[in-house]
């Protein structure tokens, strides 16, 4: 049988700056130190979703659930990009990103750091409830919501507050605040393949571009369903996280003419909700007797995760080349997570990765 | 498909993909006929990902990791299989009918993407002297074009494949900065040389070896590769375009820092850097390694029709006009069934890009393009002599891609009058090639009664010390090394199978003796305990001066329809148009008059861009 194919047109990429809102004299964030601590929160927010998305990703089969797998994988890679962008902004204003401390990993299930505690983010298998939580995480802000750095409803609100803080403190500080050591920046030499181009941050306009990328990839820009790479980098049309997850939830693709507040109406996609590994939700090391094989394997997984975080920490703090060495650690982590997910607990459920702080 | 195309193209390997992309982007309408499965042609994210994951699962599940292992075996469009090469001729149980006296030892892949799915990805250029073997060394033939003629096309090929490498390091006999030009850089920085290579280099760089009374200084050079690395900010090219004004194909762009790494076909964000999985042959898990589907995907798909599961059986030659009137092909629904429908494709120009074996087979089946009687002749390969041993220290093979360093020392010299030149890649795959390690190390350990910790310890001790050095000896063209067809040998669809007559000449056998003498000195300098074992039961075991040597195939299937300056002794012109039919072009390694000591894909890709320009000129005339 002969078949004909229509592949997408080749992508072109160009970088365009976009006019942003005028400078607001907004001093919600009341000092440069406070601004830095909010950027640390930004890093923690971005990180907090990664164990959740990764755990769910590892419970499904990349072939039989190809659409859901590729969608979740693309989102988690973009979260890694966001975490790195936040670290770049932090370094650009003379702060010190910290990703290896004992309270850096939240205890799952967790509220999003500094959020309004409206919902818990768990480590659990792929299912409709899980995707509903993902939708809450990535829920878009209204265009006119106020900036909110604490008790925010949406991540967009939080970043709006950070953006205003950056503008304000750069404006009122003699010589500006973007005086950090340029060699600390992670650039697209070290960071690649993470869904969008990594911006090194040397100025306020770089920082604003970075924040718009973070918010836009998660929630979409200004009521559109497309992520801002369209606008900024001219990548293939790719929908923002919320809308990607909504496609899984509704088992349908969006059509370009669909609007943001309606479900997708495009072609159906195959999602096999029942084909997930039945992982026990939110596993903990303390669930297992110390020294038992399950305990040891979970400990081993957590040590791998700490090695990875330590590597990233060092990359964010003066050794950006180390980021390339994080790649094999990420594979190591995946293989160890899959090992755990293949271990039955005896009650019909399987073990799974627990993402807990351990000393290494 | 009853309408006429500008070009009907056969094969979707790198040569076919380059033609399809270049011509459709220039606005020409192309029909591409591909013998392999429809599933393998998927270029959009979900189906291409799902198909590639199936290749990977097959690879992981097979005990033997041979070159074509991950890919479907199609009775209706068979590929040669290195596992079917046996130490006996005649032999006709595989796809190839091996009439000998030696079996031809290489395979290729008939599949969407062609052999680039399993290629290694080494892309050194040929040397200027390689183009003048007859004039300089009295061997083989000269090319009808020079290195300088090919140089701009090499740059195009290096852009298209996405070469990672260090130009400044490319120094050796007949090779230095002037081969490339003062400011030239590859699109991406070099892949880091492996830890194992660093150990090799300690005692091999600037080692003096003696051969037949002459001393040679051995050096180690980083290998240019078709796999992704960090973009070189100094690289200035941005694309290949047909210039309608000048009627030239141009490598355009003069802006540094704009090179875009080409990721996996299913996701631009996957495979942006080589991850060192070390399974390059037969399959890169993340498509950091170039494959032809990446090029094919860049075609203008509004101008491209692709027919898969479409096996070409015959060229329809019009005896009056001397032109082709069409290409007959057989379309199968089930690859294991003899049922097919016959169709005819028509275009203004026809291009065969099916590989050196299939191109020759199709021409011979159709009695086409063969007034010189050269079709099917001069079949060549690199004859690979392996040496393996154990390092005194752990060198940890399998870290990084298959090869990151090569020894250029014997690629050129006066000795080429006497015996074949070779390139020596340092291999990063332990003893996997000669002994099927590390699987065989496990079986041997078990057979010796080891298990548990004792087995693990012995593997940790030996597998980590395994050294492999190899010598890719340049086979000289020989009209008697050839493919023919015979009604006696056909496949399930009634198409001919290649019947091969093949031998290794004295010129080759002497190079094995020479290479072994050099290898012995390199092993000694590195303290490597030699475990090399050439056995008369090996498929390609030969003797020279009462000593035995075994060679393996390199998968570099070259010759069979060579390019030349006269219709009397060649099949295609330098434009790669056949001498006999002005609407038939041949592309691929079959056009190469001699092989040099380079892996041939880069040179063939450069030639294919030349052919694409010639085809566009003819279409516009």
Q: Does B44 touch chain A (CB under 8 A)?
A: yes
Contacts of B331 in chain A (CB under 8 A): 1-2
pLDDT above 50 for A20: no
Region B210-225: what's the mean pLDDT?
A: 98
Share of chain B above pLDDT 90, in %: 93
Mutation test of the interface with chain B: which of A1, A2, A338, choosing the one with the most B Cβ atoms within 10 A?
A2
Contacts of B333 in chain A (CB under 8 A): 1
User: Is A143 or B121 the better-scoring residue by pLDDT?
Assistant: B121
The CATH T-level fold of domain B5-620 is FAD/NAD(P)-binding domain (3.50.50)
Contacts of A236 in chain B (CB under 8 A): 268
Q: Does A61 touch chain B (CB under 8 A)?
A: no
Is residue B188 within 8 Å of residue B163, measured between CB atoms? yes
Predicted local distance difference test score (pLDDT) of residue A262: 83
Residue A116 falls inside a structural domain: yes
Region B208-228: what's the mean pLDDT?
A: 98
Residue A141's pLDDT band, with cuts at 50, 70 and 90, is low
Closest CB to B305: pick one of A4, A193, A269.
A4
Predicted local distance difference test score (pLDDT) of residue B90: 85
Domain limits at A114? 32-279
Residue B616 corresponds to which tokens in the numbers above? 């566009």
CATH code, domain with A95: 1.20.1260.10
- Average per-residue pLDDT in chain B? 96
Q: Does B51 touch chain A (CB under 8 A)?
A: no
A10:B297 CB<8 A:
yes
Alpha-carbon gap, residue A312 to A84, rounded angstroms: 9
Give the model confidence (pLDDT) of B527-580 as tens digits.
999 999 999 999 999 999 999 999 999 999 999 999 999 999 999 999 999 999
**CB-based contacts of A219, cutoff 8 Å, min separation 6:** A138, A139, A140, A141, A154, A155, A156, A240, A241, A242
Alpha-carbon gap, residue A151 to B415, rounded angstroms: 79
Predicted local distance difference test score (pLDDT) of residue A22: 37
The ipTM is 0.74
Closest CB to B307: pick one of A2, A63, A74.
A2
Q: Does B597 touch chain A (CB under 8 A)?
A: no
**CB-based contacts of B319, cutoff 8 Å, min separation 6:** none
Of A91-105, A221-235, B137-151, the poorest mean pLDDT is in A221-235
Beta-bridge partners for B470: B386
Alpha-carbon gap, residue B511 to B533, rounded angstroms: 18
Q: What is the pTM of this model?
A: 0.89
Mutation test of the interface with chain A: which of B50, B74, B269, B303, choosing the one with the most A Cβ atoms within 10 A?
B269
Residue A303 falls inside a structural domain: no
Contacts of B305 in chain A (CB under 8 A): 4
Residue A266 falls inside a structural domain: yes
Q: Phi/psi at B178 (nearest 5 deg)?
A: -70, -20
Report in angstroms the alpha-carbon separations of B51 from A193, B13, B55, B269, B601.
Answer: 21, 17, 7, 18, 25
Predicted local distance difference test score (pLDDT) of residue B139: 97
For chain B, the domains span 5-620
| 3 state DSSP class of B572 | strand
What is the number of domains present in chain A? 1
Alpha-carbon gap, residue B523 to A156, rounded angstroms: 63
Q: Does B59 touch chain A (CB under 8 A)?
A: no
- Average per-residue pLDDT in chain A? 84
Q: Phi/psi at B217 (nearest 5 deg)?
A: -100, 115
Closest CA to B422 of B85, B124, B104: B124
pLDDT above 90 for B401: yes
Is residue B377 within 8 Å of residue B370, measured between CB atoms? no
B38:A67 CB<8 A:
no
Residue B306's pLDDT band, with cuts at 50, 70 and 90, is very high
Residue A79 falls inside a structural domain: yes
Is residue B265 within 8 Å of residue A10, measured between CB atoms? no
Give the model confidence (pLDDT) of A227-243 as tens digits.
544 443 333 446 788 88
Of A106-115, A269-278, B276-285, B314-323, the poorest mean pLDDT is in A106-115
A197: distance to nearest CA of chain B, Å? 10
Is residue A254 within 8 Å of residue A243, measured between CB atoms? yes
- The residues in A 192-211 lying below 8 A from B, measured between CB atoms, are 192-195
Predicted local distance difference test score (pLDDT) of residue A233: 36
| Rama region for B504: left / alpha / beta (φ>0; ψ in -120 to 50; rest) | beta
Q: Does A235 touch chain B (CB under 8 A)?
A: yes
Q: How many CB atoms lie within 10 A of CB B189?
A: 18
Residue A54 falls inside a structural domain: yes
pLDDT above 70 for B482: yes
User: Is A263 or A227 the better-scoring residue by pLDDT?
Assistant: A263
Closest CB to B50: pick one of A66, A194, A235.
A66
B42:A11 CB<8 A:
no
Q: Does B273 touch chain A (CB under 8 A)?
A: yes
- The residues in B 400-419 lying below 8 A from A, measured between CB atoms, are none
Residue A47 falls inside a structural domain: yes
Can you give A309-338 as a three-state secondary structure string? HHHHHHHHCCCCCHHHHHHHHHHHHHHHHH
Alpha-carbon gap, residue B585 to B215, rounded angstroms: 46
Q: Does B192 touch chain A (CB under 8 A)?
A: no
Residue B79's pLDDT band, with cuts at 50, 70 and 90, is very high
Residue B94's pLDDT band, with cuts at 50, 70 and 90, is confident
Predicted local distance difference test score (pLDDT) of residue A238: 60
Report in angstroms the alpha-carbon separations of B278 from B116, B403, B424, B432.
Answer: 16, 9, 19, 12
A7:B57 CB<8 A:
no
Chain A: residue whose CA lies nearest to B276: A328
B270:A74 CB<8 A:
no
């Amino acid at each position: 049988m002969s078949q004909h194919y229509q592949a997408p047109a080749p992508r072109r990429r160009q970088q365009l700056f976009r006019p942003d809102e005028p400078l607001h004299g907004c001093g919600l964030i009341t000092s440069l130190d406070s601004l830095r601590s909010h950027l640390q929160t930004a890093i923690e927010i971005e990180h907090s979703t990664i164990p959740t998305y990764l755990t769910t990703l590892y419970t499904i089969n990349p072939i039989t659930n190809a659409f859901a797998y590729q969608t979740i994988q693309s989102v988690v890679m973009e979260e890694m990009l966001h975490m790195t962008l936040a670290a770049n902004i932090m370094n650009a204003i003379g702060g010190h990103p910290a990703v290896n401390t004992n309270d850096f990993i939240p205890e799952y299930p967790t509220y999003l750091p500094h959020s309004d505690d409206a919902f818990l983010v768990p480590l659990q298998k792929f299912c409709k409830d899980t995707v509903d939580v993902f939708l809450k995480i990535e829920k878009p802000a209204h265009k006119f919501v106020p900036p909110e750095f604490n008790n925010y409803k949406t991540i967009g609100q939080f970043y709006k507050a950070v953006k205003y803080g950056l503008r304000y403190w750069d404006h009122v500080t003699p010589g500006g605040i973007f005086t950090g050591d340029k060699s600390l920046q992670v650039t697209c030499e070290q960071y690649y393949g993470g869904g969008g181009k990594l911006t090194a941050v040397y100025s306020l306009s770089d920082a604003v571009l970075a924040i718009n990328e973070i918010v836009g990839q998660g929630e979409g820009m200004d009521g559109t369903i497309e992520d801002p790479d369209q606008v900024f980098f001219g990548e293939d049309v790719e929908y923002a996280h919320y809308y990607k997850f909504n496609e899984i939830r509704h088992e349908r693709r969006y059509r370009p003419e669909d609007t943001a507040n309606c479900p997708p109406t495009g072609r159906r996609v195959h999602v096999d909700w029942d084909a997930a590994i039945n992982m026990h939700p939110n596993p903990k090391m303390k669930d297992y007797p110390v020294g038992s094989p399950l305990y040891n394997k979970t400990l081993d997984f957590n040590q791998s995760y700490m090695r990875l975080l330590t590597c990233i920490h060092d990359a964010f703090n003066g050794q950006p080349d180390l980021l390339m060495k994080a790649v094999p650690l990420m594979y190591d982590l995946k293989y160890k997570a899959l090992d755990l997910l293949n271990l039955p607990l005896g009650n019909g459920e399987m073990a799974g990765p627990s993402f807990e702080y351990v000393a290494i | 498909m009853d309408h006429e195309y500008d070009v009907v193209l056969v094969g979707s390997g790198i040569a076919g993909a380059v033609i399809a992309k270049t011509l459709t982007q220039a606005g020409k309408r192309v029909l591409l006929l591909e013998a392999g499965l429809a599933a393998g042609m998927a270029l959009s994210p979900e189906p291409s990902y799902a198909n590639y994951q199936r290749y990977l699962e097959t690879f992981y599940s097979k005990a033997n990791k041979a070159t074509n292992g991950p890919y479907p075996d199609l009775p209706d469009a068979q590929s040669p299989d290195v596992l079917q090469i046996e130490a006996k001729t005649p032999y006709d149980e595989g796809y190839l009918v091996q009439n000998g006296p030696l079996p031809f030892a290489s395979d290729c892949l008939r599949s969407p993407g062609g052999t680039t799915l399993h290629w290694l990805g080494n892309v050194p250029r040929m040397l200027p002297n390689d183009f003048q073997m007859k004039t300089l060394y009295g061997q083989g033939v000269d090319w009808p074009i020079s290195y300088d003629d090919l140089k701009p096309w090499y740059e195009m090929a290096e852009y298209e494949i996405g070469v990672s490498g260090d130009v400044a390091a490319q120094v050796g006999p007949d090779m230095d900065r002037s081969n490339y030009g003062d400011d030239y850089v590859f699109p991406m920085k070099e892949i880091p040389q492996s830890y194992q290579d660093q150990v090799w280099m300690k005692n091999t760089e600037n080692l003096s070896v003696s051969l037949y009374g002459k001393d040679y200084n051995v050096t180690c050079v980083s290998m240019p590769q078709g796999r992704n690395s960090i973009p070189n900010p100094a690289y200035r090219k941005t694309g290949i375009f047909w210039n309608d004004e000048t009627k030239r194909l141009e490598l355009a762009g003069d802006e540094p820092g704009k090179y875009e790494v080409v990721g996996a076909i299913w996701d631009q964000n996957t495979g942006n850097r080589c991850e060192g999985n070390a399974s390059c042959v037969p399959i890169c898990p993340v498509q950091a390694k170039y494959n032809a589907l990446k090029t094919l995907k860049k075609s203008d798909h509004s101008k491209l029709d692709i027919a898969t599961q479409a096996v070409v059986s015959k060229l329809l030659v019009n005896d009056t006009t001397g032109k082709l009137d069409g290409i007959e092909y057989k379309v199968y629904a089930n690859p294991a069934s003899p049922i097919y429908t016959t169709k005819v494709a028509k275009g203004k120009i026809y291009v065969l890009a099916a590989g050196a074996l299939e191109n020759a087979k199709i021409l011979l089946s159709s009695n086409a393009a063969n007034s010189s009687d050269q079709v099917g002749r001069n079949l060549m390969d690199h004859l690979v002599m392996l040496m393996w041993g154990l390092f005194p220290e752990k060198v940890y093979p399998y870290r990084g891609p298959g090869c990151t360093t090569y020894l250029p020392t014997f690629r050129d010299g006066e000795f080429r009058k006497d015996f074949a030149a070779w390139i020596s890649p340092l291999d990063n795959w332990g003893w996997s090639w000669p002994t099927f390690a590390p699987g065989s190390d496990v079986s041997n350990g078990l057979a010796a009664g080891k298990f548990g910790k004792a087995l693990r310890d012995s593997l940790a001790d030996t597998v980590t010390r395994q050294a492999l050095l190899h010598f890719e000896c340049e086979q000289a063209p020989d009209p008697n090394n050839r493919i023919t067809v015979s009604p006696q040998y056909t496949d399930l669809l009634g198409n001919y199978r290649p019947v091969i007559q093949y031998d290794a000449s004295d010129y080759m056998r002497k190079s094995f003796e020479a290479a072994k003498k050099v290898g012995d000195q390199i092993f000694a300098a590195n303290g490597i305990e030699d475990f090399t074992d050439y056995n008369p039961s090996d498929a390609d075991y030969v003797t020279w001066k009462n000593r035995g040597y075994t060679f393996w195939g390199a998968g570099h299937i070259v010759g069979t329809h060579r390019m030349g300056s006269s219709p009397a002794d060649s099949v295609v012109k330098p434009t790669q148009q056949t001498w006999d039919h002005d609407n038939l072009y041949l592309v691929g390694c079959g056009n190469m008059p001699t092989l040099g000591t380079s892996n041939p894909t880069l040179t063939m890709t450069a030639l294919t861009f030349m052919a694409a320009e010639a085809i566009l000129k003819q279409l516009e005339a």
